[in-house]
Structure 1
Amino acid sequence: MGTTKVFKPTTVQKKALNLIKSGAKHILLFGGSRSGKTTVLVMAIVYRALRFPGSRHLICRLRAKDARSSVLRETLLPALTNTVGSAGFTYLAHENMITLFNGSEIWIGGLGDREQADKILGHEYNSIYFNEVSQLSYAAVTTAYSRLAMRVPGCRNLFLYDCNPGSPLHWAYKIFVKKQAFQSGEALPKPELYASMLLNPEDNKDNLPADYISDILDALPEKQKARFRDGLWVKAEGVIYDQFEEDMILDPGELPETFDRFAAGQDFGMNITNVKIGIKDNRIYVLDDCGSYNMTTKTFNEELLQRGWFNWKGEDIDFSIFCDPAGGERIQEITNGMKANNSVDAGIDYIIAKMERRQFFVSSACTGVLSERWDYCRDEDGEIIKVNDHYMDAMRYAIFSDAQLGVIAA
């Protein structure tokens, strides 16, 4: 196949490509806006697909439409055209899949849609590239791990990731930067398998408009500038629970021995979550959370029961689980499930008031709640950004529904 143009990586992109060739199995490229992260990883996928005939590779993000617009059309299709020519590949739009002349395949998809997820996770791959992982839950990513199982002689299977950095509590920061297991906080048993690299717009300025950094990125508000220009992991603008303080996080041993009562909240969807709370002397304690990805409601409920959800300190307890009212018949599949009060703004205001009064605490065991709290934001129009909010919704269902029953004072 004729080559029409050769990819010429910048100096930093060459270092990133060398990192991909290292012995690490998980490689994260993070940094500012338009720093060349996606280009590097797409070219790595293209190279691997060409180098190993008959191999299969997946590029995915939260929404399939975003994967198609930002990765497929802007980067992948031009890269393939420039590398093997238009005759060297076929794009099957109805399948969201590209076939190369050598029999290799590159699939494009989203993990936030059940039908899409079932489709792309029904295959095995040699490479899985998670684009913009700041939008993906840990459960969604780890569910896809089992699909990196295709065997092609000579091809070392790889997980690739990229993102504009988010909160330092995000699972990607804990794993790749702090080298800690996300849920336990313990040191990774094999940290050498996880490698990361910072790429910023300054490293890619030869491929950017002359005024992009000086007139656009330099003019951003400080926090956005830190994230999108400097590639720093910072708390986002518009954080809803900005009143939450670090000393509100308690070790499990610091929690009360007994509670006046318990409650839980249940959120449905591809990322299904449950958050359990305890109330003691008008104080709210977020005790535990549980989440999964692409799991049926019935199976998830069984998992809750197996985890001893209705048990505290060895004693059986009974409480209601307040469920997303949009759950319909799925509510009946949750033990003690009932419709939650879904007054979003009123529920948020109630929780903020509890934080301001120092009547709100979270167990350090609640990795889901803690990882989402700084990503739970409003946009410039004051609308809640519906990304990484599954535990936040479940927590609000539990707290505000319990309060609206009139059992505790506001």
Structure 2
Amino acid sequence: MAYGGSRSGKTFGFIRAIMIRALAHKSRHAILRYRFNHIKASIVYDTLPKVMELCFPGVADKSKLDKTDWFYSLPNGSELWFGGLDEKERVEKILGNEYATLYLNECSQIPWASRNMAVTRLAQKTPLRLKAYYDCNPPGMAHWTYRLFVEKRDPDRRTPVANPGNYAALLMNPQDNAANLDQRYLEELQAMSESMRRRFFLGQFADASDTALWTLELLDQQRIVDGSLPEMARIVVAVDPSGVSGEEDKRSDEVGLVVCGLGRDGRGYVLEDLSGRMAPAQWGDAAISAFQRHEADAIVAEENFGGAMVAEIVRSAGARQGISVSYRPVKASRGKIVRAEPIAALFEQRKVSLVGLFPELEDQLCAMTTAGYVGSRSPDRADAMIWGLASLFPAMTKPEFGIGGRRAPVVNVGYSSMKKRRA
């Protein structure tokens, strides 16, 4: 397994290794990820063409991509099969074959049971030695990748594996691949929050917490980075205000400002995190701008801090921008963790996805435990997300959702900076 920071060359190296094996002998190789759309975007249309051009010039001209069954055939008859482990029909088609190589890309997103099922197809008889490749940005120490490849223990029984030499692990970090990266990208990784910097820059596994409501692997499994989103039946802009006077006020907590959507597929989507230290007029304007940009249905704001003042901030911002908004106040009558637990359960039930990477928000979510919040400051971003999703999910069974015009939500495809595109 190759593990480490973002864009360290892990995928490129394994695709090159598979190509060398495939060209040496006629054989079949499976390249799998949790979601099929992700493997199409990241490997089929990105990494594979780069590897072919740089390492095997001329071979691509004699090769063919079958877009019906999604396999890549080489001149010597070898085949590279691409698939996702999240769709039963596709999994059955992929696992109907035997392979000389199995490659689980971004395996932190793949459940242990799915990995075990895939390994049963690593059985093709060829002159090649059977091999399984894995790569990931390291999740938590409770994940099966850490237990199997670092601790050399069976993830189920927690006992030492019989052949530890079969589970080699290699740390690969972006600074080792600096010659192929923009220096500004490395600087952006270094500037991330501490937990995200450890994961995406230093390639370190996060400390395990059996009481955490969210884990990095849970968020990863439901994350959407590549591919389109369903139509949104309802969108809300959720606000968790604070007493901050402006960006320069480092003593007060941030204002939580998160956009959430309810898809016509019945799932929730966290679309954008705009939280920060903002004066009242600033966050009011930011909320109204997000309301317009996402064509939202309502602004939901927690009123424990400020009461009627919060409603007035929203209405004044709307008046400045010349629009009228639907405003829904919410009031916290229970503790943070009690409010968070049912939302965390929705993630576990695969009913909510993060659309992009939200480092600061994810830090706060992972710091919420059954014993309380263990982060350094108030979880304003997480609170805003929880308010937003809580306002959407009670309405999921209402028949009127699923009726109306199409809306293409704006989604975050960047890291800490908010780059936007239409889905």
Bin the TM-score by the shorter chain.
0.5 to 0.7
Q: Which amino acid aligns with 1:56?
A: R
**Structure 1 segments unaligned to the other structure (5+ residues):** 1-27, 244-325, 327-344, 354-372, 385-410
On the 8 A contact 1:59/1:107 being kept in 2, the answer is yes
Alignment TM-score, normalising by the size of structure 1: 0.52
Change (3 A) 1:143 1:64: same
| Residue aligning to 1:145 | 119
In structure 2, the CA distance between the partners of 1:226 and 1:81, relative to structure 1 (3 Å rule), is same
Deviation track 1:329-365 (CA, whole Å, cap 9, x = no partner) reads xxxxxxxxxxxxxxxx999737959xxxxxxxxxxxx
Equivalent position amino acid for 2:161 in 1: L
Choose the corresponding residue for 2:93, options 116, 119, 126: 119
| Residue of structure 1 equivalent to 2:81 | 107
CA distance in 1, matches of 2:189, 2:213: 26
Q: Write the distance in 1 (CA, Å) between the matches of 2:212 and 2:140.
A: 14
1:166-205 equivalence runs, <5 A: 166-205=139-178
Deviation at 1:171, TM superposition (A): 0.4
Q: For the residues of structure 1 that align with 2:367 and 2:149, how far apart are their CA atoms?
A: 18
Q: Distance in 2 between matches of 1:92 and 1:375?
A: 45
Give 1:210 shift: 2.1
Partner of 1:259: none
CA distance in 2, matches of 1:347, 1:147: 45
Deviation, structure 1 residue 241: 2.0
1:89 to 63, 83, 92: 63
Residue number in structure 2 paired with 1:382? 385
- Answering whether residue 197 of structure 2 is matched by residue 208 of structure 1, we say no
CA contact (8 A) 2:214 2:368 kept: no
Aligned residues: 236
2:29 alignment counterpart: 57
Contact 2:339 2:386 in 1 (8 A): no
Give CA-to-partner distance per residue, 1:284-313, whole Å, 9 cap, x none: xxxxxxxxxxxxxxxxxxxxxxxxxxxxxx
- Cα–Cα, structure 1 residues 200 and 104, in superposed 2: closer, same or farther, change >3 Å? same
DSSP-derived class of the 2:160 partner: coil
Identity %: 35
C-alpha distance in 2 between matches for 1:347 and 1:170: 26
TM-score of the pair, normalised by structure 2: 0.51
Cα pair distance change 1:374/1:191, threshold 3 Å: farther
Give the C-alpha shift of residue 78 in structure 1: 2.5
Counterpart of 1:136, as a letter, is: I
**Aligned twin of 1:349:** 338
Detail structure 1 runs of 4+ shifted over 3 Å in the superposition. 345-348, 350-353, 373-381
Q: Is the 8 A contact 1:223 1:236 kept in 2?
A: no
RMSD, aligned α-carbons: 3.5
Gap change, CA 1:67 and 1:376, over 3 Å in 2? farther
CA distance in 2, matches of 1:163, 1:169: 14
- Secondary structure of 1:34's match? coil
CA distance in 2, matches of 1:62, 1:80: 24
Q: How does 1:226-245 map to 2 (within 5 A)?
A: 226-234=198-206, 241=213
Where do residues 262-281 of structure 1 align in structure 2 (5 Å cutoff)? none
Provide closer, same or farther for how the CA distance between residues 217 and 42 of structure 1 changes in structure 2, counting only shifts above 3 A: same
- How far did residue 221 of structure 1 move? 0.5
* Aligned residue type for 2:169: S
Q: What residue number does 2:280 align with?
A: none
Distance in 1 of aligned mates of 2:137 and 2:31: 17
- The runs of 5 or more residues in structure 2 that have no matched partner are 216-265, 267-333, 343-364, 370-378, 388-423
2:102 match: secondary structure: strand
1:258-307 Cα offsets, whole Å, 9 max, x none, are: xxxxxxxxxxxxxxxxxxxxxxxxxxxxxxxxxxxxxxxxxxxxxxxxxx
CA change 1:80–1:346 in 2 (3 A) is: farther
* 2:163 maps to amino acid: K
